[in-house]
Amino acid sequence: MRKPWKKTITAAMISVSLMTSGYAAYAAEAVPAVHDLPSYPLADHLQVELKSLLNERTAGGIRIGAVIRMSNDSDKITRVPEYEVRVTTTDGVSYTLQPSASNPRSLQPKATVELSYLCVIDRSDEISLSKLSWVDVDEYVYPKKETPILALDVASLSWKGTDSTIEDPEAIMKWGEVFRIPAIDSPLQYSPVDISDTMTQTGPVTVVKMQVANPTDKKETVPDFSLDGKSASKTYPGKRVEAGPVTLEPQEKKEIHFAIPTDADARLTSLNVVTPESYTQIDAQGKASVVQYTIGRLNVLLPEAGLAQQLARLPEYTFGTPIKLSLFTDKVDPNLTTSLVDMRFYENEGKGYQTAVAKVVLDNKGDKPLILPPLAAEIVTPEGYRYSSIRPGGSSGTQAGGSAAGAALQQIMPNTKTVVTYAFLMPESEKPEQLAVKLQDTLSAAPYTSTLTAFKISLPEEKLNRDPIAFYPFEVRIKDYSINTQVNSVPSISYNYRLHLNLEINQVEEVAVDPSLTQMEFDLLDQDGNTMATLVRPLIGTGKLARGIQDLYFNNVGNEYMNNMSINVYETITTPAGPVKRLVAQLKQ
């Protein structure tokens, strides 16, 4: 099994947080030690380092490759020596590796280049490599003369392909440890901070977010590397989501993302950090083709804590307090404060499911309008079931306390708070008392989501006839009521019913509210519990319920007089999935 050339990490254990696959974390500060690859003198002013060694079985045979980093410490241009590069197996057989057609022929003064070598051998058995050597071959004498120049012991250093298992303890990282990538000429430091699953049209994808830090005083670019997902039986190649170069200013930190397509039933246990290598070959017709492969550098373990432990490790969130989002997102304006003010379960009559509705307040503390941030949400039950939000709805962003027209929030005006809702469709059987909540950025890792924060909440206890009744951002007290019957004789006998109400309505926070966000529904029930008539009234806007005494009429309900009537009072909310309601009070005749 391949070993790292030198260990380049410093442990920095971090707090673990719930993610879609069950894990999340927030990176801690650390400054790993920096070590170079072992360097060996090859010729005057030339040193070599073994960057990569491949021993991989393919459909065409066993592919053996080596990437050599060569440095010139002189002040003159120096040619690359025309030595043969050979590997020797543990059973004593030697093979000559062919240089890549793209290998440079010379080195500039004080420069370093990478040289790639490859060969494919037709063997059906497994082989192990023991030695890598450079040999000067003089073919102009007979018999030809071979002079050994340099030989390296490479036992256990070769990478045997994507299905290899990294076993060296020094190359196995715990979740959250800060590391540099061995054999890569870069000072950047990495730590995994989030892993989540998402379903796409082509199947499930695991998205990993890594924090990258530049501890130097120079601008640095993230080198080309990726992450492969490892389950107990299979490896799933991944790819970095960011398509262009990612650069970091001195002392800057950023986050990068990797997408790993998996099988539907895959359960990842670790991640391999892999770097790409390439080799250019020329065929008999002079056409060039490139052979590409990856080399595993490190293995990152995923935590094994059970769901109950994961939920317990999450910070407890207090409704109404500002939510701390990721420090590294540039998709949410720093002048915008986000807070979760309420979350409850609502009925979807006759649809076989319920809806969890989260009310989120967005507070624009700046001096210019802001658009709705690209936030999505996900909730996770203690049993591990995940439910993603459908698009938020809310006010149109009028001044605080005013009436809003428009079904979906477009802008948040300066010095204004507004409410948006996130709806989660769930089975009716789900009645958890506690949930994990994740807020996600929908742009940074598009088309996937990236977790900005995760926390746990305890859901408010539901109880009929509370005083006051919570209808955020309102509180309603039913101070007094009566239900009366009226008889109509023209054109035929029918009955009207009057609900006489004395209400106290208070807005607990100055926020912009859409009339459809929170309304009160009154269902008139007969003595058998059948709904005979319904009235829906907003708490803001045209036709709103007023503070004080008022009458609501259920007209032409039927031609039979009803005794023992009752009225169910609901909070109703319009969501993208349709109207939902929550029973809050029962009024008896």
pLDDT in tens, 333-345: 888 999 999 999 9
Provide the pLDDT for residue 307: 64
Backbone angles phi, psi at 279, to 5 degrees: -145, 130
Q: Which position has the token pair 């969890």?
A: 356
Provide the pLDDT for residue 323: 92
Over the chain, what is the mean pLDDT? Answer: 86
Query: Region 482-504: what's the mean pLDDT?
Result: 87
Does the pLDDT of residue 565 top 80, yes or no? yes
Query: Region 77-91: what's the mean pLDDT?
Result: 96
Q: Which position has the token pair 């020329």?
A: 282
* 3-class DSSP string for 260-303: EECCCCCCCCEEEEEEEEEEEEECCCCCEEEEEEEEEEEEEECC
**In the sheet where 9-10 sits, what is the strand order?**
9-10, 178-179, 189-200, 203-213, 253-261, 239-240
The residue that leads in pLDDT, 205 or 404, is 205
Provide the pLDDT for residue 406: 33
Model confidence band, residue 525 (pLDDT cutoffs 50, 70, 90): very high
Cβ atoms of residues 335 and 308 within 8 Å:
no
Separation between Cα atoms, residue 562 and residue 589, nearest integer Å: 11
Separation between Cα atoms, residue 235 and residue 520, nearest integer Å: 54
- Among 100-109, 488-497, 569-578, the range scoring the smallest mean pLDDT is 488-497
Model confidence band, residue 408 (pLDDT cutoffs 50, 70, 90): very low
Does the pLDDT of residue 537 top 80, yes or no? yes
Provide the pLDDT for residue 238: 96
Does the pLDDT of residue 379 top 70, yes or no? yes
Contacts of 587 (CB under 8 A, 6+ apart): 478, 481, 483, 499, 566, 567, 568, 569
Provide the pLDDT for residue 70: 97
Provide the pLDDT for residue 7: 30
Q: What is the pTM of this model?
A: 0.80
Closest CA to 581 of 346, 351, 345, 357: 346
Query: Region 184-192: what's the mean pLDDT?
Result: 94
Residues of the chain with pLDDT > 90, as a percent, come to 59
Model confidence band, residue 393 (pLDDT cutoffs 50, 70, 90): low
Model confidence band, residue 305 (pLDDT cutoffs 50, 70, 90): low
The residue that leads in pLDDT, 312 or 217, is 217
Cβ atoms of residues 129 and 2 within 8 Å:
no
Contacts of 86 (CB under 8 A, 6+ apart): 94, 95, 96, 97, 132, 133, 134, 135
Cβ atoms of residues 12 and 309 within 8 Å:
no
Does the pLDDT of residue 317 top 80, yes or no? yes
Residues of the chain with pLDDT > 70, as a percent, come to 90
Q: Is residue 476 within a helix (H) or strand (E), and if so which, with residue range?
A: strand 474-488
Q: What is the pLDDT of residues 409-445, one digit of tens each?
A: 578 899 999 998 899 999 988 888 889 999 988 888 8
What separation, in Å, do the N-terminal and C-terminal C-alpha atoms of the chain show?
A: 80
Closest CA to 574 of 391, 413, 368: 391
List of domains in the chain: 308-458 (2.60.40.1240), 469-588 (2.60.40)
Does the pLDDT of residue 365 top 80, yes or no? yes
Q: Which position has the token pair 């002392």?
A: 251
Separation between Cα atoms, residue 145 and residue 545, nearest integer Å: 102
Query: Region 566-578: what's the mean pLDDT?
Result: 90
Provide the pLDDT for residue 36: 63
Does the pLDDT of residue 403 top 50, yes or no? no
* CA 427 to the chain's CA centroid: 24
Separation between Cα atoms, residue 472 and residue 506, nearest integer Å: 10
Model confidence band, residue 558 (pLDDT cutoffs 50, 70, 90): confident
Rg of the chain's alpha carbons, rounded to an integer? 34
Cβ atoms of residues 290 and 278 within 8 Å:
yes
- Polymer length in residues for the chain: 589
Does the pLDDT of residue 384 top 50, yes or no? yes
Cα dihedral 467, 470, 474, 477 in deg (nearest 10)? -20
Does the pLDDT of residue 371 top 90, yes or no? no
Provide the pLDDT for residue 34: 43
- Quote the tokens at residue 528: 């058998």
Separation between Cα atoms, residue 160 and residue 566, nearest integer Å: 75
